Structure 1
Amino acid sequence: MKKNLLFLFVALSLQTISAQNQTTIIAIKNDAGAPTINKNIYGHFAEHLGRCIYGGFFVGDTSKIPNTKGVRNDIIAALKDLKIPNLRWPGGCFADTYHWKDGIGPQEQRPTIVNKWWGGVTEDNSFGTHDFLNMCEVLGAEPYLSGNVGSGTVQELADWVQYTNFSGKSPMSDLRRKNGRTEPWKVKFWGIGNEAWGCGGNMTAEYYAGEYRKFATFMSDWENTGGITRIASGSNGSDYNWTEVMMKNIPLNMLGGLGVHHYAVIDWNKKGDGVDFTELQYFQTMKSALKMEELVTKHAAIMDKYDPEKKVAMLVDEWGGWYEVEKGTNPGFLYQQNTMRDAVLAGATLNIFNNHADRVRMANLAQCVNVLQAVILTDKAKMITTPTYHVMKLYAVHQDAKLLPVSFQSPLYTVNGETLPAVSASASKDKNGAVHISLVNVDSKNKNKIEIDIKDLGVKNFTGSVITSSKLQDYNSFDTPNKIVPVIFKGFENKKGKLEITIPPFSVVVLEGK
């Protein structure tokens, strides 16, 4: 028995050493037919949920926290530095109980409602259409408005389009001018309901397809170039029948985009702590996150059947990690900390979106401030950026760059007999000819060696940045806001046209070649 145990120990040790010495060969192709990575893949999401809007973006113009018309200046600066391309609002589930006319006009005259979805708190509508759209203008971000289908009317949504987009004389444009805005905002992206299969009305796919067609018929914008992009509520994860019904039953000329929602969750009934997690829980989270590859591939295959020219965009307009709320916080506010696990999750997910840029043309991380996998956290006057923020900032180089397709056989990350691909990668070339390669090591214990032939990429000199830390559970706190930030990466050599890279465990690396 002892000999058998000794043999097993030696075998496992040799297997570990072999895994650490294995080199992953990544081929990067200069493909003239490859798609451009749409900048909107790097979008964000702001719902009236917890402290995302109130106490997050919006503190009111009487606050001592520096603000412009009630919106925090530090958050605006951080998001502009992130090059945020678009922002989805007002939900989420909240969208299908939101009546936009409650949020316009003098604040003291706006009615209050109860936010039935998130904590049962009173919503005073002090942050509304003007506040959001003006903020998007300052950010340089495209607004993505989610319309109320669940409890709203066709007329209400059609009026909102006219209010925001029409420059001529009409009842809604006159009302907009009365409320202080002369020129229209020209909102392009419009969601027709949210999660219609669930909180948006518990509709069947067939019923929602009919509702979508009705609402879309009365939403028009003849004045602005390109009109509006109407977006259908997409599937819940792997509900492929939902996508099939949408593509089959909605005429393509009425469908600008189709959503998909997927959260990385260990177990919806026992989601685990945001900071105090084990390696097994980390593995389970990443297993759920990496399922995004399968979801995008299978939904895209269905869309291809009805739309071979890929005119309809796939929008992964809710994604991210979802854990139990931080201890002592309101369970309806979904406030969670953001660790190195989230950095790895973000990097690997964005690589998937980049590599499917032919179909995925928008995505929205949930959510922007103080909710779920936020890029920004606030505590009264304090504000910090999270590891996820820093990943998205490094990856901003891929926005509107030409995809360079990658191919490789990943080594495996093994926990309790289960395996995941350890290495994730994507690459692009920007308009100035610079090449960017983003690499993620999902393995929580072992470094990985990577080799990339760069002779045909037209670049010679590389620099790099890395995001990592001493523990997976590390995070940026209000006392140590810069514990996890990008630092210079030197773990590579250029040997006769081949990059030899050693990427640390649970890390995100971005290389730039010029």
Structure 2
Amino acid sequence: MKKTLISLSLLCFGNFANAQTETALNIQAPTDQIVSKHIYGHFSEHLGRCIYDGFWVDENSAIPNKGRIRLDVVDALKKIKVPNLRWPGGCFADEYHWRDGIGPRNERPKMVNTNWGGVVEDNSFGTHEFLELCKMLDCEPYIAGNVGSGTVEEMAKWVEYLNFDGTSPMTAIRKQNGMDKPWKVSFWGVGNESWGCGGNMTPEYYSDLYRRYATYARDYEGAPLKRIASGANSEDYKWTETCMKNIGAGRMWGLTLHYYTLPTGNWKTKGSATKFDEEQYFNTMKNCLRMEEIVTKHAAIMDKYDPKKKVALVVDEWGIWTDVEPGTNPGFLYQQNSLRDALIAGTTLNIFNNHSDRVRMANLAQTVNVLQALILTEKDKMLLTPTYHVFDLYKVHMDAKYLPIKFTSPDYTVGNNKIAALNVSASQDSTGAIHISLVNLDPKNKISINTSLGDLKWKTVTGQILTSANVTDINTFDNSNKIHNAKFSGAKKSGNNLKVELPAQSVVVLELK
């Protein structure tokens, strides 16, 4: 009996959304600041079932595919207008040697993926396959080069293979492998997590190494590189300071930042993806909101050395990281995806939008079957997670003008602790339409919002909402549409003000025309 009561408390703490709090928003006129589409980027590593059994199917698979690239996954990602895709890692990038993944597949050497499960990597998915995937997705490739176990020559020749349209040994090999013209890849990561799995380096050592590697990663005609330095882990502000000081703003397009939301805050026991009570939910959201402070502090350090904000802060790994699903390979990082994860996605993207003067690229970890995935697959079955639906809602912000917002959030309180219940971002697209994304983290209380839009002109408001009865709710292969976007009718015009009744535990995107 006791176990049954605990189970009910885990599942139903968000069902009683009767109370209401109030706040006012003041949306400012647009500035020249743009919410870059690249904030909505994604990440696909050779990890678990992301590439193999995710994007890439068996040679004789009956699942609809083009050259082994799974078409239902491609179609779903095209719908949300994926702007860029990061590959081959992650930690895998710094043990990946690109020449093992080109040429006839039956002649490619096999290797052991020492970072993720110790499984055999057959290298059937390599450079040509990845760039064909990007072509099918109509997105820009973002390649992470091997600094940890690779050489300057290896990286330089990879760039040449990708981008040089002339006569050279690398272009001859590329043409032999079926690609006459170069792909002209711009986004180029110089290492990954060089403070950890990418080499356990000091920031001083990495800064010097970056300058060397970046020197030989050449700009070829029509293909200037956007070189991205391997930046800090979470709150390692010294790393950012050292890189900005020693590398210099003129030698890099971007500097990375990695931060994951851990429900418990503990890497050893991170917490369940689906079974959690309100206190655990609250702590997860508190950890998610730390992204605001972390981005703000790293950006302030970058401002010291780069006051014109030429260097992008590239948050190329973010998302919730939980314990793996019971019974799955712990090295494959397969986790379910609940309404809680959708609220994390909406909140984090609002933070990035509001810092789009510095955050100009980000990559959710990861796209298929790994960590906070957009898509889960099981043989021929595929489902879209609640997180996918948030990206579908938020695509309206891509490359739109940023609209600053002033407001005071109501509190979401559990015991003696409290966090901001509400987070918001807004933009205006090229047609003049205004989009406002709102997230209510409070699982029990709705929020009544009165919004002033100043001199911004509009006549109508429509909206969509993502919510469910419980924050623990998930989409499953037997019920793949339990959580999905729906029409929202809780917003109306009152004079030139906008009034919104924002339900508990919800993500809402409004369009004003």
Going from structure 1 to structure 2, the CA distance change for 1:375 and 1:406 (only over 3 Å counts) comes to same
Correspondence list, 1:229-268, <5 A:
229-265=226-262, 266=264, 267-268=266-267
Match of 2:211 in 1: 213
Correspondence list, 1:24-103, <5 A:
24-33=23-32, 35-103=33-101
The CA deviation at 1:416 is 2.4
Contact 1:61–1:68 at 8 Å: present in 2 too? no
For the pair 1:440 / 2:439, whether they are aligned, the reply is: yes
User: 1 CA distance for matches of 2:31 and 2:377?
Assistant: 44
User: 2 CA distance for matches of 1:288 and 1:57?
Assistant: 31
User: 2 CA distance for matches of 1:159 and 1:431?
Assistant: 40
Deviations 1:345-386 (A, max 9, x none): 000000000000000000000000000000000000000100
The CA deviation at 1:222 is 3.0
Match of 1:499 in 2: 498
Correspondence list, 1:60-459, <5 A:
60-224=58-222, 227-265=224-262, 266=264, 267-459=266-458
Contact 1:61–1:67 at 8 Å: present in 2 too? no
User: 2 CA distance for matches of 1:143 and 1:60?
Assistant: 23
Deviations 1:299-347 (A, max 9, x none): 0000000000000000000000000000110000000000000010000
User: 2 CA distance for matches of 1:455 and 1:231?
Assistant: 39
Structure 1 counterpart SS, 2:39: helix
User: 1 CA distance for matches of 2:379 and 2:121?
Assistant: 19
Deviations 1:71-103 (A, max 9, x none): 000001000001000000000000000000000
Contact 1:60–1:69 at 8 Å: present in 2 too? no
For the pair 1:488 / 2:487, whether they are aligned, the reply is: yes
Structure 2 counterpart SS, 1:314: strand
Unaligned runs of 5+ in 1: 1-15
User: 1 CA distance for matches of 2:283 and 2:422?
Assistant: 16
User: 1 CA distance for matches of 2:415 and 2:167?
Assistant: 66
Count of residue pairs the alignment pairs up: 496
User: 2 CA distance for matches of 1:233 and 1:363?
Assistant: 13
User: 1 CA distance for matches of 2:332 and 2:269?
Assistant: 17
User: 2 CA distance for matches of 1:181 and 1:492?
Assistant: 52
User: 2 CA distance for matches of 1:61 and 1:270?
Assistant: 38
Structure 1 counterpart SS, 2:469: coil
The CA deviation at 1:449 is 1.0
The CA deviation at 1:201 is 0.4
Q: What letter is aligned with 2:230?
A: S
Deviations 1:99-136 (A, max 9, x none): 00000000010000000000000000000000001110
Q: What letter is aligned with 1:316?
A: V
The CA deviation at 1:31 is 3.2
User: 1 CA distance for matches of 2:122 and 2:390?
Assistant: 35
The CA deviation at 1:21 is 4.3
The CA deviation at 1:252 is 2.1
Structure 2 counterpart SS, 1:22: strand
Q: What letter is aligned with 1:161?
A: V
The more displaced of 201-210 and 493-502 is: 493-502
Structure 2 counterpart SS, 1:262: strand
User: 2 CA distance for matches of 1:207 and 1:32?
Assistant: 39
Q: What letter is aligned with 1:220?
A: R
Contact 2:86–2:142 at 8 Å: present in 1 too? yes
For the pair 1:22 / 2:59, whether they are aligned, the reply is: no
Contact 2:30–2:401 at 8 Å: present in 1 too? no
Match of 1:13 in 2: none
User: 2 CA distance for matches of 1:471 and 1:21?
Assistant: 18
The CA deviation at 1:204 is 0.4
Contact 1:30–1:457 at 8 Å: present in 2 too? yes
User: 1 CA distance for matches of 2:273 and 2:116?
Assistant: 19
The CA deviation at 1:60 is 3.4
Larger RCO of the pair (alpha carbons < 8 Å, separation 6+)? 2
User: 1 CA distance for matches of 2:351 and 2:103?
Assistant: 43
- Moved beyond 2 Å, runs of 4+: 19-22
The more displaced of 495-504 and 334-343 is: 495-504
The CA deviation at 1:495 is 1.2
User: 2 CA distance for matches of 1:204 and 1:501?
Assistant: 50
Structure 1 counterpart SS, 2:308: coil
Contact 2:347–2:423 at 8 Å: present in 1 too? yes
Match of 1:12 in 2: none
User: 1 CA distance for matches of 2:469 and 2:437?
Assistant: 21
Correspondence list, 1:459-478, <5 A:
459-478=458-477
Contact 2:19–2:444 at 8 Å: present in 1 too? no
